[in-house]
Structure 1
Amino acid sequence: MGCAARRRGALSTERADWSPALADRRLFRRGQGSARRLTRTLPIIVGVAAGFMLVVDRFSMIRFGTFSMGAAVTILVAGSLLALSPLVLGAGMPRVIPMPMTIFFAYSVMRLALQPSIDGVQNVAILLIVGLGVSFSARGWTHERAGLSVSVLAGCGIVISGLALVQAATGAVIYGTRSFALSALVALAAAIAVPSGRLLARVAPIVIVAAIVASLSRTASIIAVLLLAGLVVRLPRGRRTVLALGGLALAAGGAWTLITTFPPLRDRFLGGDQAAEFGGLAINTSGRSALWEALMDSAMTTPVFGQGPGSAAGLVEARFYPILLPHNEYIRLFHDLGIVGLALFAFGCIALIGRIAVRAARTDHPIHWAALLAMIAVLTAAATDNVFLYPFVMVPLAVLVGFSLGMPVTERMSIRRDK
């Protein structure tokens, strides 16, 4: 009886100290602190995402004629996930992908069947990985797994950023600079969302941003600096809005200072063709303006349904070799899938962002902030790069989005941030 009474007393004391903030902090820390146990139960897609992020574009550097090992791995992963897809349906998992995005995936497969091409197969394979990656991640969602997944991707960001800094310092070729920078944006979103109680969590965003800037990738550098304003999500809710606006202003000022005063980055922005103008400065597009004009002229010949997946890459390679890709995903989608495909994709992305934002506002869980920041970063980078074609960007993004959408929107646990 004495032991039982003491247990009841301890339980009542624990309940007296219980709060939603403390609960979420404990759940997230449990996800961070029990990696050995949880790694065995994490969805396979998390390991696939981490693998793609750590390798970045190394597989693409290995080529067999016109075909790369990266393309082979992408198609193999897509086929494996497609073979496992009955597990998602068999579990009775509710639909998590918005209907416009689901129709977009189906439409892309149909257009590939009607106008097959090698580039189109790889493009659609990545779309399948993203859709199935979201579904598998959502199916396996728990607080612990979500917390660990955010930490795993942030940790991968530290690793690849360290290697990228070594590359910048020594000249050794480890990753393609643009490929690293785009992959690191997703890792940065995860690192920003991790609660700041540990030293690694505090320094990770700065290390990743430094590596992205050192890569001299223009679009990624601007996005990375601006994303730092998202660090306000680590603070209590009441102090965020004003600080977010102030942080965004400081980040914008910092980005402008880097562009105009840091010589290597300044030359990247202000040298070259100077084909665009922004804020009174002539901006270097590295020949992109010519690509985009040619693609738009071609796209307007079949504006409704497009010319089939992979057709934009074929046009660019034929007319602008050694450039192989359009460097603008929205123009590529318009060229390949027409206004129908572009509209479905746009509505699907809007719906995804809306669902994630609602969950972030209601629960304040780090997984939602990580997914939201990553979505914003990737969709912004898509205006000048080929992010939708890179599995080392899209698979980690799919994991964050899937875990976010897997969490019930009615979940009422308000996240805690260490003070």
Structure 2
Amino acid sequence: MSAAATSNVVLRQQRRLFLSALSVFCILAGGTLYRLKWNAEFTVAVFLIAIFSLPCALFRRPDQSAGQLEPINPLRQRIPLPLWSFAACVILSEIRMQTVEGAQNTLVYLSFVAVMAIAASWTSAGSPLLLLTWVRSAAVVMAVCYIFTVIVTGPGSDSFYLNSDRGYGEIAWVGVVAAVSLAKPSRFGYILPLLLLAACVLSLSRTVMAVCALLFLSVVTQRRERGERRKLLLLTAAMAGGAYFLLTRYQPLEDRFTHNDGQQVAGWEVGTSGRATMWRVTWESIKKSPWTGHGIGSAEHLMSRLAMDHPHNDYLRLWHDFGIIGLGLWVASILVLGRGAYRRWRAASNDADRAIHKAALLALVGLSLNVITSNLLVYISVMVPVAVIIGTSMGRANAEGVRLAPSSARGCGAPNDEVRKDLTEACVGAAMSE
């Protein structure tokens, strides 16, 4: 292989290693950053890296001497227009508001979009398995540490790297996404996803527990075979029975779901841990400006009157900050991304691409469900791994039909015919070796 081709392959590996390493760091150290009060610095660092890398990922560089950089996949899925529009809405709102809370949220929102676009451009044939394997491994390490902490201090407790009680669940579900997507259709394929699900149950995080249980069901939907429907029904029945047993026999979990703030829903006592009050106050404020909202960061300012930091419902946050327009753009973005991930998953012809497309779909589902009762959209340690997973899936769109672009193609430079051939052989070899 020529020296130029070797440099191209090394750079390709460095790029995918960086994104995978960044995702693993967020999973392992996200809670610690909050505890040490370094979250703001980390958010700024991620934003600056993403913004400076984004032009090279999106636009052509006319200097052909920069041919050491790999070309992008010309058939990859682009960032949907509603998501770019949402980013523009965020920028305009921050220009108008100019608040500390708004600036923090702005950096997270824009980093999510930028990291997704960069991941789509930097994806290579070996990226899906590398990313998902690393994320799964990090999640397993977290689960083992958390289970050990529960043995010592009890269910729902904090641990040395988390920022608050039940904070484990805020990031653990991303590991479930990776583990389920990589699970083999065999009895041993259930082991790691089941371990992560058990850790989520012990965290007593209600929404995360339900979301992870739903994600776990997809472990039987790997190859879309005829027997999968029967397996899915059996697994659903088994998990429903297990959930009923835990809710009625496991007192810590029963207390989390019922006995805490005495809220009544259809005659049943339901515990919301104060969320009902926060949602009511947020909704009353939304009604004063439902179309354009009160500006980014205004939800946090409103919650400060209740001695709280967030409204614990990101759909209400989006509605309150950006109005129905901003909320609609976000929902439309998720729907477009989800439809694309589902179509890619159905069309994938190899296990690696099938796994990353399924992971992207599950990540979108998990995020959309989790934010009903949480604040994940403004947590950089959650949004970065999710963006990398979705972006990697987008970068592998139509991968079977990709032919490396000629020198006039968009991307950060383009290699000659000899280098192009060596790159193709190297990518195939890397995918087979991984």
Common topology (TM > 0.5): yes
% identity of equivalent residues? 27
Q: State whether structure 2 residue 136 is matched by structure 1 residue 151.
A: no
Q: Determine helix, strand or coil for the equivalent of 1:306.
A: coil
Structure 1 pair 257/109, CA: closer, same or farther in 2 (3 Å)? Answer: farther
Normalising by structure 1, report the TM-score. 0.82
Q: Determine helix, strand or coil for the equivalent of 1:320.
A: coil
Alignment of 1:236-247 (within 5 A): 237-247=225-235
For 2:50, the equivalent position in structure 1 comes to 81
Separation in 1 of the partners of 2:332 and 2:185?
37
- Higher RCO (CA 8 Å, separation ≥ 6 residues): 2
Which of residues 385, 390, 394 in structure 1 aligns to 2:379?
Answer: 390
For 2:432, the equivalent position in structure 1 comes to none
How far is 1:265 from its partner?
Answer: 0.6
1:147-197 superposed Cα distances (whole Å, 9 cap, x missing partner): 111111111110111121122122363213433212110110100111438
* Alpha carbons 1:78, 1:128 under 8 Å: kept: yes
For 2:148, the equivalent position in structure 1 comes to 166
Q: State whether structure 2 residue 181 is matched by structure 1 residue 193.
A: yes
Q: State whether structure 2 residue 117 is matched by structure 1 residue 135.
A: yes
For 1:359, the equivalent position in structure 2 comes to 344
Give 4+ residue runs of structure 1 displaced > 3 Å after superposition: 36-41, 91-95, 197-202, 409-413
Which of residues 196, 208, 229 in structure 1 aligns to 2:217?
Answer: 229
* Alpha carbons 2:57, 2:122 under 8 Å: kept: no
Which of residues 206, 209, 214 in structure 2 aligns to 1:218?
Answer: 206
* Alpha carbons 2:77, 2:397 under 8 Å: kept: no
1:76-122 superposed Cα distances (whole Å, 9 cap, x missing partner): 21122111211112356666211111101111111111111111111
For 1:72, the equivalent position in structure 2 comes to 41
Structure 1 pair 166/89, CA: closer, same or farther in 2 (3 Å)? Answer: same
Q: Which ranges of structure 1 fall in alignment gaps of 5 or more residues?
A: 1-35, 63-67, 414-419
Q: State whether structure 2 residue 358 is matched by structure 1 residue 369.
A: yes
Separation in 2 of the partners of 1:70 and 1:252?
38
For 1:6, the equivalent position in structure 2 comes to none
Separation in 2 of the partners of 1:124 and 1:46?
23
Deviates more, 1:219-228 or 1:246-255: 246-255
* Alpha carbons 2:262, 2:271 under 8 Å: kept: yes
* Alpha carbons 1:181, 1:220 under 8 Å: kept: yes
Deviates more, 1:137-146 or 1:191-200: 191-200
For 1:417, the equivalent position in structure 2 comes to none
Structure 1 pair 199/398, CA: closer, same or farther in 2 (3 Å)? Answer: farther
Q: Determine helix, strand or coil for the equivalent of 2:180.
A: helix
* Alpha carbons 2:185, 2:220 under 8 Å: kept: no
Separation in 2 of the partners of 1:380 and 1:203?
24
What value does the CA root-mean-square deviation take over the aligned residues?
2.5
Separation in 2 of the partners of 1:38 and 1:160?
29
Structure 1 pair 182/213, CA: closer, same or farther in 2 (3 Å)? Answer: same
Alignment of 1:249-398 (within 5 A): 249-277=237-265, 281-317=268-304, 319-321=305-307, 323-363=308-348, 365-398=354-387
Separation in 2 of the partners of 1:247 and 1:345?
33
Structure 1 pair 75/410, CA: closer, same or farther in 2 (3 Å)? Answer: closer
Separation in 1 of the partners of 2:210 and 2:165?
15
How far is 1:198 from its partner?
Answer: 10
Q: Determine helix, strand or coil for the equivalent of 2:265.
A: strand
Separation in 1 of the partners of 2:176 and 2:165?
16
AA matched with 1:50: V
Separation in 2 of the partners of 1:87 and 1:360?
28
AA matched with 1:70: N
Q: Determine helix, strand or coil for the equivalent of 2:166.
A: helix
Q: Which ranges of structure 2 fall in alignment gaps of 5 or more residues?
A: 1-9, 61-71, 403-434
For 1:48, the equivalent position in structure 2 comes to 22
How far is 1:199 from its partner?
Answer: 10
AA matched with 2:332: F
Q: Determine helix, strand or coil for the equivalent of 2:192.
A: helix
AA matched with 1:49: S
Separation in 1 of the partners of 2:398 and 2:223?
22
Normalising by structure 2, report the TM-score. 0.80
AA matched with 2:269: A
Q: Determine helix, strand or coil for the equivalent of 2:167.
A: helix
Q: Determine helix, strand or coil for the equivalent of 1:307.
A: coil
Q: State whether structure 2 residue 78 is matched by structure 1 residue 90.
A: no
